[in-house]
Amino acid sequence: MSSKAWDKIATSIFGAIAFLIVAILIALFGYILTKGLPVVTWDFLTTPSSTVRAGGGIRDQLFNSFYVLFITMIFTVPLGIGGGIYMAEYAKDTKLTGFIRTCIEVLASLPSIVIGMFGLLVFVNLTGWGYSIIGGALALTVFNLPVMVRVTEDALRTVPRDQKEASLALGMTKWHTIKTILVPIAFPSILTGAILASGRVFGEAAALLFTAGLSTPRLDYANWNPFADNSPLNVFRPAETLAVHIWSVNTQGIIPDVEQVANGASAVLVISVLLFNLAARGIGALIFKKMTASK
């Protein structure tokens, strides 16, 4: 067979694979949104959930999802970027560095249920916090940290060495070169890693079952004292997120409208992740332009 024939076959195969991926995504999103969007109303979004009667909403679970995501990223982003900078710019190519890199890869491959069991032991029982937002956020930080470290390290390594060497040749210190040359150029890739980590946080359920709990206390959204038991900002209260709520109503729910609540919550979860990604990319583009002075 000629080279042109093989080229046409390869092009057709890769095109078919791309079409299959797009078709799966469209089918998945179409099914979730078709089933869930008719349920999503203003009352559904602003009404507390109910464990016994029909007509409950997802107000607290929606707030908890964004709040757990916010607390998790406070820990994950600086630690992940710092670890990636160390691995890319400061760590020497020794056996110890290779061992650390292997540990990061092993940690990244652990199932989330294992991270949840670790979080239950350390952040729930050992600390005495019980089921809490801070426990769930720390468990998810352990879950996402390897991704942020590897993405940051790879992003920094892709920066052309000429730019780094030119900066050092002009007399800039290593830290100033990292801060003003390497990180701004690598920022789009680092942002992509942060968005991927955020998506994992939003959709994670297994790790949060053992750390953040399956319930939410009655919240007073007019009380913004972070130390009050009924304050939504209290990080030491249990918090059921959207993903956990979907699992809970599907496996343990006794309310008459289990299917409607699960479908509506799934649609809200998908739309929230989509909107968060679009917003993060928009803000990231603005920050990149400001850091690099590009138009």
Q: For residues 93 and 88, what is the distance between their CA atoms, to the nearest angstrom?
A: 10
Domain annotation covers residue 108? yes
Q: For residues 109 and 150, what is the distance between their CA atoms, to the nearest angstrom?
A: 13
Domain annotation covers residue 18? no
Take residue 57 and report the two structure tokens written for it.
Answer: 């909403």
> What is the mean predicted confidence (pLDDT) over 171-187?
88
- Is the pLDDT confidence value at 292 over 80? no
- Is the pLDDT confidence value at 277 over 70? yes
Amino acid present at 215: S
SS3 232: coil
Buried b (16+ CB within 10 A) or exposed e, 168-190: eeeebeeeebbeebbbbbbbebb
Residue identified by tokens 């690099």 is: 292
Domain annotation covers residue 22? no
Domain annotation covers residue 189? yes
User: In the prediction, which pLDDT does 206 show?
Assistant: 86
Take residue 105 and report the two structure tokens written for it.
Answer: 């890869």
User: In the prediction, which pLDDT does 98 show?
Assistant: 85
How many CB atoms within 10 Å of residue 122? 15
Domain annotation covers residue 12? no
Q: What confidence tens digit (pLDDT) does each residue in 94-109 have?
A: 888 888 888 888 888 8
Domain that holds residue 217: 40-292
Query: Number of structural domains, the chain?
Result: 1
> What is the mean predicted confidence (pLDDT) over 286-293?
72
SS3 181: helix
| pLDDT confidence band for 210 (50 / 70 / 90) | very high
**pLDDT above 70 covers what percent of the chain?**
98
Take residue 240 and report the two structure tokens written for it.
Answer: 């059921």
Residue identified by tokens 């299917």 is: 259
Q: What confidence tens digit (pLDDT) does each residue in 133-164 have?
A: 999 999 999 988 988 998 899 999 988 888 88
Q: What confidence tens digit (pLDDT) does each residue in 10-43 have?
A: 999 999 999 999 999 999 989 999 999 999 999 9
Domain annotation covers residue 4? no
- Is the pLDDT confidence value at 220 over 80? yes
Which residue in 97, 79, 78 sits closest to 87, CA to CA? Answer: 97
Residue identified by tokens 């709990």 is: 213
- Is the pLDDT confidence value at 78 over 90? yes
Q: For residues 230 and 210, what is the distance between their CA atoms, to the nearest angstrom?
A: 21
**All residues at 6 or more sequence positions from 197 whose CB lies less than 8 Å from its CB, including other chains:** 73, 76, 80, 144, 147, 148
Q: For residues 40 and 86, what is the distance between their CA atoms, to the nearest angstrom?
A: 46
Q: Is 75 left (phi over 0), alpha (psi -120 to 50) or beta?
A: alpha
User: In the prediction, which pLDDT does 95 show?
Assistant: 86
- Is the pLDDT confidence value at 126 over 90? yes
Share of the chain residues as helix, strand and coil, in percent rounded to the nearest 5 = 75, 0, 25
Domain annotation covers residue 32? no
User: In the prediction, which pLDDT does 241 show?
Assistant: 92
Q: Is 256 left (phi over 0), alpha (psi -120 to 50) or beta?
A: alpha
| pLDDT confidence band for 216 (50 / 70 / 90) | confident
Amino acid present at 270: V
CATH number at residue 89: 1.10.3720.10
Domain annotation covers residue 131? yes
User: In the prediction, which pLDDT does 61 show?
Assistant: 92
